[in-house]
Amino acid sequence: MIAMASPNLGSTPTFPTSNHSKRAFQYSSPFVLSKLSRVSDFNTLEATSITQAGKRRCECFDMYKELVPYGEAWSWQKSIVKERKALIERNEDFSDTLIILQHQPVYTLGTASSEEYLNFNIKNAPCDVYRTERGGEVTYHGPGQLVMYPIVNLRYHKMDLHWYLRALEDIVIRALSSTFSIKASRLEGLTGVWVGDRKLAAIGIRVSHWVAYHGLAVNVTTDLTPFQQIVACGIRDRGVGSIKGLLREFLSSDGSGCGTEDIHKADDCQLIDFTHKSLVKEFCEVFQVELHHKSTPPQKFLQGEPSSSLTGRLI
């Protein structure tokens, strides 16, 4: 399981669910819990958080072409979560948030990750290492990998962690299919998105007071060499892959490849663009949100390092 929930996760909800239970996006998995009943006594201000089209507002900070240091992005997420919780207390939480970016090279571990999955001496790490509060084992982030950090109030979607993880997977599966004609799937008992025995997308989340953060990372044109320094996600018998690598394999195997002619001729920057556009589209469809693009984050969100890091190294 790649989810980490705070002890007070199961508190009684005070917000209405949206009409998402009526969407085509549903799962018959035994993990999915029964639908939440609609709370009828919410006030007019709460109701305005859902648009007339039935879509919740989502502020989007789209920096998908930028390499953002992990510590800054992590601090930013936690600042938004803190602000969101304060809004919830005042019944003024009217918007979710989506951050899209790339990271400078970094290894991250979940709160209970084992250092046995590191194939290097932590005192002489090849790049920065952070232990975070998300679930899951160690993974790598770096250039060519698109990272999406949804900060989502699950009270307005579905208060079910399994549903949320499957929803994040579905975004990637749909994007790979619609844009690249790549048939990706889930593997029973494992979280993430796979093509054969190779993992293209890793997912790790934290949920506190039903506000989810952290998110997913998709290898697009990523140099996969740094993954050799770890046992990615703690899975020893499977590997990692990238969209670029798969397209090359398909092209060399049958001479045609996947997707359109434009995809075949795409360079690294174009592959990032294609993937980004598709992921954003599928995110909006899966979560039924209406994006409102925002400028770069206020400086206050980027001040200071998270308390569980020391000069970018694991403590």
Tell me the average pLDDT across 284-304.
80
Neighbours of 307 (CB within 10 A): 9
**Closest by Cα among 107, 314, 123, 144 to 231:** 107
From the candidates 58, 60, 127, 233, which is the catalytic residue? 233
pLDDT digits 0-9 by tens, 30-47: 222 222 232 233 333 333
Whether the predicted pLDDT of 97 surpasses 90: yes
Give the span between the Cα atoms of 171 and 120, in whole angstroms: 33
Q: How far apart are CA 300 and CA 293, in angstroms?
A: 19
Q: Is 233 in the active site? A: yes
Ramachandran region of residue 64, left (φ > 0), alpha (ψ -120 to 50) or beta? Answer: alpha
The pLDDT value given to residue 53: 59
Say how far apart CA 211 and CA 134 lie, in whole Å. 13
> What values do phi and psi take at 129, rounded to 5?
-130, 130
What pLDDT, on a 0 to 100 scale, did the predictor assign at position 252?
74
Q: What is the pLDDT of residue 21?
A: 38
Q: Where in the chain are the domains?
A: 3-7+53-314
- CATH topology for 3-7+53-314? BirA Bifunctional Protein; domain 2 (3.30.930)
Q: The pTM is what?
A: 0.82
